């Protein structure tokens, strides 16, 4: 088994361009290795607090082409995790917000500490949960996805489990041990069967989802030029209430 740890504890393991590139590189490395199961976790008190503030502050200054390239990079990370060739286990040790919720719930199995928090909070800052919506609708259904995406509310591990986004709630001191125990049980199965099952799941969904991901990337890039996005971003960074213009 292999373990990848998001390691920016001073930033609550927030997502930056560098983190995305390093995570993609690590996924490639594990895929080529003898490891047959991957565990993904975070260092410190958070699993992943969403987009890095420095990265966020620069989004409104990018051109449409640059924003589209940034959106494609994020989409590539989510798609890679969702369609990964080996079984994946997320050990969610703390808050997993926005894109962090995406990373945590796109794994095959999601274990969470009781204090873990989740939420697709993009609408709160004038953004759009475009990319994660493609995956979330398949995981929890249309009605529940609309609730989570339109309200942007934070919800706990117990609700996440009830929604089907979390498989098990595990005491924090036992979280990694339980992840390794689950990985060990997967190692008892036929590696050929596991890999072909994952390939089947990918082939069943890939063609339809790729079209939706393309649309989501376009929407993700397009909203960044709106007045509401710029106001929401400025308000978030200044820790004040946004004044929406509605366009």
Catalytic residues: 122
Asked if residue 69 lies in contact with residue 19, where contact means CB atoms within 8 angstroms, the answer is: no
Q: Which class for 25: exposed (0-12), middle (13-18), buried (19 or more C-beta within 10 A)?
A: exposed
Asked if residue 60 lies in contact with residue 233, where contact means CB atoms within 8 angstroms, the answer is: yes
Asked if residue 9 lies in contact with residue 45, where contact means CB atoms within 8 angstroms, the answer is: yes
d(CA 238, CA 242): 10
Strands across the sheet with 168-169, in order? 2-6, 38-42, 88-92, 109-112, 168-169
């Amino acid at each position: 088994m292999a373990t990848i740890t998001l390691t920016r504890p001073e930033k609550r393991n927030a997502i930056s361009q560098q983190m995305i590139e390093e995570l993609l590189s690590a996924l490639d490395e594990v895929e080529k290795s003898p490891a047959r199961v991957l565990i993904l976790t975070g260092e410190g008190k958070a699993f992943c607090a969403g987009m890095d503030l420095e990265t966020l502050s620069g989004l409104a200054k990018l051109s449409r082409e640059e924003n589209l390239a940034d959106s494609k990079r994020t989409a590539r990370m989510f798609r890679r995790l969702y369609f990964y060739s080996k079984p994946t286990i997320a050990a969610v040790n703390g808050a997993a917000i926005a894109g962090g919720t995406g990373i945590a719930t796109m794994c095959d199995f999601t274990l969470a500490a009781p204090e873990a928090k989740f939420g697709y909070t993009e609408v709160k800052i004038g953004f759009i949960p475009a990319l994660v919506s493609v995956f979330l609708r398949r995981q929890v259904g249309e009605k529940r996805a609309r609730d989570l995406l339109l309200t942007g509310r934070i919800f706990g591990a117990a609700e996440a489990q009830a929604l089907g986004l979390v498989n098990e709630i595990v005491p924090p001191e036992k979280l990694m041990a339980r992840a390794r125990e689950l990985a060990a049980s997967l190692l008892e199965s036929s590696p050929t069967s596991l890999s072909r099952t994952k390939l089947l799941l990918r082939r069943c969904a890939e063609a339809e989802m790729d079209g939706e991901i393309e649309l989501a990337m376009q929407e993700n890039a397009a909203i960044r030029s709106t007045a509401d996005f710029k106001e929401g971003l400025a308000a978030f960074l200044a820790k004040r209430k946004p004044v929406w213009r509605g366009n």
